[in-house]
Amino acid sequence: MTDASIQASTLREDEASFGDYFALLKPRVMSLVVFTALVGLLAAPVTVHPVIGFCAILFIAIGGGASGALNMWWDADIDMVMKRTKGRPIPAGKVEPGEAMSLGLALSGMSVIMLALATNVMAGAFLAFTIFFYVVVYTMWLKRATPQNIVIGGAAGAFPPVIGWIAATGTMSVEPWLMFALTFMWTPPHFWALALFMRNDYDDAGVPMLTVTHGRRATRVHILVYTILLALLAVGTAFSGIGGPIYLAVAVVMNALFLLGALKIWRRDEEDSEQDNFKAERSFFKLSLLYLFLHFGAILTEALLKPFGLGGW
Amino acid sequence: MSFKPQHELHQRRFGRNMGVGLSLAAFVVLVLAMTIVKVTSGDFKFPQAQAAEQN
């Protein structure tokens, strides 16, 4: 074997870098997981040692990232078709599907065990259940089976604050479930708005999004209904143990804006949307990101002010 | 004789190895820090002492 043949057999121009493996963990989704889990952990009525708190958030984030890698492994065929996901490491040919699966499984096991050791077994069990729910229930089953995929699958993304709370307290109460409900109810309008202006993507991939199965008019109605229910829940949360005047002010303003956005989407027809390239739908989607960030930010602010005699009612 | 400039692929491989190495080192430091915190916290008991207390 000559040097040239060794070169040819071992060098791959598209070989993955460390960043490609990191991209498998869906860093953007991870940042949402980190933030909501951190709020769950800090809003809990107990003090956690900073090192333990840091470990808890890190392992929750790694668990979330692991489920992202398993999702990319399973959905590689869909990602290859959709414009939004074509550049991901597997469809781009940088990482083999098997590598993504191995990484996902290894990090899942590691994160669950380490979270249980760092905090408590209940937190570890909840993280394991979240990974199972996202990978098996959502990715493998619901995503390709029902237009309600986003609704039920949204539960997986809503678990982090609950895990953060349990990691801190070792017990369960109603407050973390209010944070769960907030994210759970927020997910459908957020993704349906995206589906409205990315319709062709889901069509091509054969994913039964509501826009594909029930049409765009029905999707607009669904967005409005979910936004109304979300507004009731979000404002109602202000009067719970994690709420307070700051949260109430944020919730009233943000939900008024969100409702206005949903009403705008509901009133519009396809012709209006096509004319301005889905301006209202795009701005509703952007607003939804700010919406969740500000609600959880307000919960965090209330919690951080409590030791100073402020925050809460 | 001059050395060939490093191929971009080798840089990428070096970066990948460095990333894995640093991640593992960070994990070791984290486990050490976690252990210190757990052992020095007030409610820590060695298993024998815990069993003796229960009897």
Residues 193-222, chain A, touching B (beta carbon < 8 A): none
- Chain B positions touching A55 (Cβ under 8 A) are 30, 34
pLDDT at A13: 62
Does A117 contact B33 at a Cβ distance shorter than 8 Å?
Answer: no
pLDDT value of residue B2: 63
Inter-chain touch A55–B7, beta carbons under 8 Å: no
Domain chopping of chain B, boundaries: 8-54
- Are A11 and B7 an interchain contact pair (Cβ–Cβ within 8 Å)? yes
2.50.20.10, 2.60.120.10, 3.60.21.10, 1.10.357.140: CATH of A17-172: 1.10.357.140
Indicate the domain borders of chain A: 17-172, 173-313
HEC profile for chain A? CCHHHHHHHHCCCCCCCHHHHHHCCCHHHHHHHHHHHHHHHHHCCCCCCHHHHHHHHHHHHHHHHHHHHHHHHHCHHHHHHCHHHCCCCCCCCCCCHHHHHHHHHHHHHHHHHHHHHHCCHHHHHHHHHHHHHHHHHHHHHHCCCCCCHHHHHHHHHHCHHHHHHHHHHCCCCHHHHHHHHHHHHHHHHHHHHHHHHCHHHHHHHCCCCHHHHCHHHHHHHHHHHHHHHHHHHHHHHCCCCCCCHHHHHHHHHHHHHHHHHHHHHHHCCHHHHHHCCCHHHHHHHHHHHHHHHHHHHHHHHHHHHHHHCCCCC
Give the pLDDT confidence score for residue A6 in this predicted structure. Answer: 46
Predicted pLDDT at B19 = 93
Q: What is the mean pLDDT of each run of 10 residues along chain A (313 residues)?
A: 48 78 94 95 95 97 97 94 90 94 98 97 98 95 89 91 97 95 96 86 82 91 98 97 96 98 94 89 96 98 92 82
* Sites in chain B below the pLDDT cut of 50: none
Please give the pLDDT value at position A44: 96
Percent of chain B with pLDDT strictly greater than 70: 87
